[in-house]
Every structure is written in C-alpha cells, then in structure tokens.
C-alpha cells in the first residue's frame, strides 16, 4: 500500500473511531440523551436512598445501601459518579446476561423436548408444584447440566476484552502498552479438541460429572470468565436461572413458534436476532 493510501485509510480509521463516540451525529445525540436520562434516574434513586439512610435506614439490606456506606468510610474517594457507574454495571451485567441465558434455555429445550421432559420430571420430583426453596434448588442435577450446556453453546458474553496498561508478556509473547486484546472464547466452547466431535451438538450429559470432567481442559469452559475478573454474580445468576426455569417447568410446557428463525447474533450479548417466539402451554 502506498504511503498516501495508508495515510488515507489511517485517517478513515481514526475518523471512524472518533465519530463513534464524539461527533454529534443524530445517533450519538440520541445516545447522549439516553445516557443523561439513565444518570438522572439513578441520581434520583441514590438521593432517595441517601435520605432514607439519614433517617435511620441501615443500608445493609441492598447493594446500593452497601455502596453508599462504603463511600462514607473515611479514606474512600468513591464519587457519586462512581456509584452511578457501579449501578449501571450491576444492572447491565446482571439483568441482560441472565435474561439471555433463560431465553436460550427456552429455545434449546423447545428444540430438545426430551430434555425439557427430563428437567420437568426432576423439578416435579424434587419441588413438586411448590415454589422452589434454596435447599431443593441445590438438589437439582439435570437442570444445572442443561444450563451449563446452554452456557457453552450460547454464552451470553462471547468475548473478553483486555487493555494493556503497561508492557506485558503472555507465554513469552511481548505485548506493548496500550493494546486491546480480545479473547473470543466462543471458539473454545466449540473446539472439538476439547469437547470431541459432537462439540456442536446439545449434549447436557457431558456435564453429568461437573464442569471439570466435561471437557479435556476445564479452561475450555469460559462463560463467566476466569482469573481475578471472574464474574461476581455467577452463583447469583445460576440460582436465579434455576429458580425461574423451575417455575416455568412446573407450570408450562413450551415449544417454538413456526416463525422462529435460528440466527444467534452478538449485540454486546449473544441474542436470537429475530427474537424468541416461544408458545407456552399451561400444564
């Protein structure tokens, strides 16, 4: 490529990156508006919580209370803006991901009614028609196998991002500071080297002896990340998903509408591109 062309495409690249966030395009103006609205709503919730805490609420009963309490601690420089960002992170990290897991689970169990039936049998045997308690949730074996297999095939998060703040080395490969690294772990989840020739098939039985025995290397199962930034909400999310799925299985059997088109796509999280039209039948 000539210097001129290189310069031109570099400029194009810079303008793309730049326009993505800072140029006041129509789309960006809408984004700024939404951002402002979300921040104002959160500031309002935080303000109300602060007032409640001044009037005697201990703040121990919810996450916002705990965040505000630790903000009050002497050497803490957490600002209200930081609290707002934490609220946004918890909402997005917690809500969107678990909702996607449940959506994919309903889709996959509609495609594999034999597993839907096995899961329902287990749920009815352990919990009956009663709302599941944490003790009965812990006894479930088939449901967690199914959730793990759904997390393998349709992980709500498919790529991890890292940015090097200083020069670093990974297994002898030197990486300068300021580099964005992407780990598309979806490829690991589908790699026959770890999962065998049926890697693309839905086979919850591979998790029958737990995650460590499901593949040739435990590190090939990545839905919640690994290492120091491992998902904080993993146990919460799995408990929530088990509770919700248990309630659905107790009350309905379900199938996909003929209008369903299988087209997983990533819009930050992995979603069914044309929605998940599932028909619920009351049991």
Binding-site positions for heme? 231
Cβ atoms within 10 Å of 71's Cβ, excluding its own: 16
- Minimum distance from CB of 89 to ligand HEM (Å)? 5
Residue 94 touching ligand HEM (CB under 6 A): yes
Stretch near ligand HEM under the rule CB under 6 A, chosen from 16-24, 35-43, 87-95, 193-201: 87-95
Residue 264 touching ligand HEM (CB under 6 A): no
- Minimum distance from CB of 5 to ligand HEM (Å)? 37
Residue 97 touching ligand HEM (CB under 6 A): yes
Q: Which residue is nearest to ligand HEM (CB)?
A: 233
- Minimum distance from CB of 45 to ligand HEM (Å)? 16
Phi-psi region of 128 (alpha: psi -120 to 50; beta: other; left: phi over 0): left
Helix (H, G, I), strand (E, B) or coil at 173: strand
Residue 236 touching ligand HEM (CB under 6 A): yes
Residue 163 touching ligand HEM (CB under 6 A): no
| CA dihedral (242, 107, 266, 148) positive or negative | positive
CA distances from 192 to 195, 198, 210, 217, 219 (A): 5, 7, 19, 12, 14
Stretch near ligand HEM under the rule CB under 6 A, chosen from 27-35, 137-145, 211-219, 225-233: 225-233
Residue 154 touching ligand HEM (CB under 6 A): no
Q: What gap in Å lies between CA 103 and CA 276, rounded to an integer? A: 7
Among 59, 144, 204, 223, binds ligand HEM (CB under 6 A): 223
Residue 59 touching ligand HEM (CB under 6 A): no
DSSP letters along 110-155, please? HH-HHHHHHHHHHHHHHHTTSPPPHHHHHH-SHHHHHHHHHHHHS-
Stretch near ligand HEM under the rule CB under 6 A, chosen from 70-78, 97-105, 187-195, 257-265: 97-105
Cβ atoms within 10 Å of 63's Cβ, excluding its own: 12
Note whether 162 and 181 are within 8 A (CB). yes
Residue matched to tokens 């491992």:
230
- Minimum distance from CB of 228 to ligand HEM (Å)? 7
Q: Which is nearer to ligand HEM, 96 or 255 (CB)?
A: 96
Query: Radius of gyration of the chain from Cα atoms?
Result: 23
Helix (H, G, I), strand (E, B) or coil at 229: helix
User: Which residues contribute to the site for ligand HEM (CB under 6 A)?
Assistant: 89-90, 93-94, 97-98, 101, 156-157, 160, 223-225, 229, 231-233, 236-237
């Amino acid at each position: 490529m000539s210097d001129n062309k290189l310069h031109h495409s570099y400029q194009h690249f810079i303008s793309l990156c730049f326009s993505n966030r800072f140029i006041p395009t129509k789309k960006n103006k809408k984004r700024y508006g939404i951002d402002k609205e979300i921040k104002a709503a959160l500031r309002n919730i935080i303000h109300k919580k602060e007032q409640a805490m001044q009037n005697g609420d201990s703040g121990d009963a919810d996450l916002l209370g705990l965040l505000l309490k630790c903000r009050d601690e002497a050497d803490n420089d957490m600002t209200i803006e930081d609290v707002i960002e934490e609220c946004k992170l918890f909402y997005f990290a917690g809500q969107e991901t678990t909702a996607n897991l449940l959506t994919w689970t309903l889709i996959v169990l509609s495609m594999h009614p034999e597993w839907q039936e096995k899961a329902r049998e287990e749920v009815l045997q352990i919990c009956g028609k009663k709302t599941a308690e944490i003790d009965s949730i812990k006894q479930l074996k088939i449901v967690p196998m199914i959730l793990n297999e759904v997390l393998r095939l349709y992980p709500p998060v498919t790529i991890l991002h890292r940015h090097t703040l200083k020069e670093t080395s990974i297994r002898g490969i030197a990486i300068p500071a300021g580099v964005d690294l992407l780990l598309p772990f979806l490829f690991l989840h589908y790699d026959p080297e770890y999962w065998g020739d049926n890697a693309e098939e839905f086979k919850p039985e591979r998790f029958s002896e737990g995650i460590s025995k499901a593949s040739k290397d435990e590190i090939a199962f990545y839905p919640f990340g690994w290492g120091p930034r491992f998902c904080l909400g993993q146990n919460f999310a799995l408990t929530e998903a088990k509770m919700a799925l248990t309630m659905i299985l107790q009350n309905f059997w379900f199938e996909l509408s003929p209008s369903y088109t299988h087209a997983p796509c990533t819009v930050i999280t992995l979603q069914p591109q044309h929605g998940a039209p599932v028909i619920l039948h009351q049991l």
